[in-house]
Structure 1
């Protein structure tokens, strides 16, 4: 009964109720007859705070649904880029192939849409080190070929850039320069190449602080989803949120609040 109630709370994104149920012994991994668990529901529905509760409460991060798909595949299909980043940070299998022959990156393209949310999803997947050029065993296409087949110019441009980029020789420097330019694809490539997400420039700023000062929201999305510290301050004690408020950037302030 408790497990059923927890799944109901997950569908409703009722985090307070879910927390109480977990405290009473509900199992975040318990599945119903359709192979849905509270943990898996949090991934497909994009419930970030709930997902964090599930992970803290013993979620099996690589658990599978009825399609033999991971939470990462489910989140990527829906374009939930913040959830994608959270799962990658949690160590989920980045390149698992589900029953219909798709990895998360294939799912984001073939079953996604040519929108900013899916572009952000691809950047976060790339930053997290997923393989970008695998051929889907069922579709016979790479993610880039899928984007072209679907006529998704936005997603095609992201994949062309990140999949074709050579790893920078100095990833930390490349990350900070990409942040200065507001280049979201270059940020993803630098992180993919091992850049320290909290590396600082000569003014003591992290990449996230640089993007906040420039109101570079797309680049900041990649950083925030990949684990950049949203409250770290520069040498003057100014945080990314304070920079965004000073610039009057509602989009940047909203991004930081969504990720909190």
Structure 2
């Protein structure tokens, strides 16, 4: 890696938009990679550095470029829950169907973490599949119930997913539905939301 690429990666990681522009003007590669195969745009997205990311997007940075962990600038917006970064990347052609190392779209970690605004926005503004199933056999709805804390944020995520058309009867690999998971975990509010959406209590397992 040459010095210009190193400067670009460092500038992107700390969110210094002026230094990003200077490094690009000096000849740094917009798709330079660090030792973990992270691009400048991925580093900017991880830090939610909007100004730096905007410079990189304008220079043609790829929002779908994966690193060694199969993360990409687009995918990490679901982890951070940054709606602003998600929207900044949209004109650069992100792939809503791109999958992370768990076989999930950006929607699934967002649901897991209770990023309600992101869940709502990515479903409204992209073609993300609300019922995509990852390698664990879980949809975004299942992740919100299984890995969520049952509190108001995750209840709201569940409501948003259902309003977007998520199937409340789509169970995990063992056939356990989101309602059943919520009931087993004592998430009464979440169970009520699911029941109101048409989820039917299954037989006791």
Calculate the TM-score normalised by the size of structure 1: 0.61
Aligned equivalents of 1:50, 1:15: Cα separation in 2? 6
Structure 1 residue 24 corresponds to structure 2 residue 59? yes
Structure 2 match to 1:55 = 90
Per-residue CA deviation, residues 147-195 of structure 1 (Å, 9 max, x unaligned), is: 0111112211211112259xxxxxxxxxxxxxxxxxxxxxxxxxxxxxx
Task: Describe the SS at the equivalent of 1:2.
Answer: coil
1:101–1:136 Cα contact (<8 Å) kept: yes
Structure 2 match to 1:152 = 187
Choose the corresponding residue for 1:108, options 144, 147, 150: 144
2:60–2:92 Cα contact (<8 Å) kept: no
1:55–1:61 Cα contact (<8 Å) kept: no
Q: Unaligned stretches of 5+ in structure 2? A: 1-28, 32-38, 201-205
How many residues end up aligned between the 2 structures?
164
Aligned equivalents of 2:199, 2:108: Cα separation in 1? 23
Structure 1 residue 87 corresponds to structure 2 residue 99? no
Task: Give, in angstroms, the shift of residue 140 of structure 1.
Answer: 3.1
Q: Unaligned stretches of 5+ in structure 1? A: 166-260
Aligned equivalents of 1:53, 1:26: Cα separation in 2? 12
Aligned equivalents of 1:9, 1:163: Cα separation in 2? 41
Task: Give, in angstroms, the shift of residue 88 of structure 1.
Answer: 1.2
Structure 1 match to 2:47 = 12
Choose the corresponding residue for 2:168, options 132, 135, 141: 132
Q: Which structure 2 residues correspond to residues 1-260 of structure 1 after superposition, within 5 A?
A: 2-3=30-31, 4-89=39-124, 90-137=126-173, 139-163=174-198
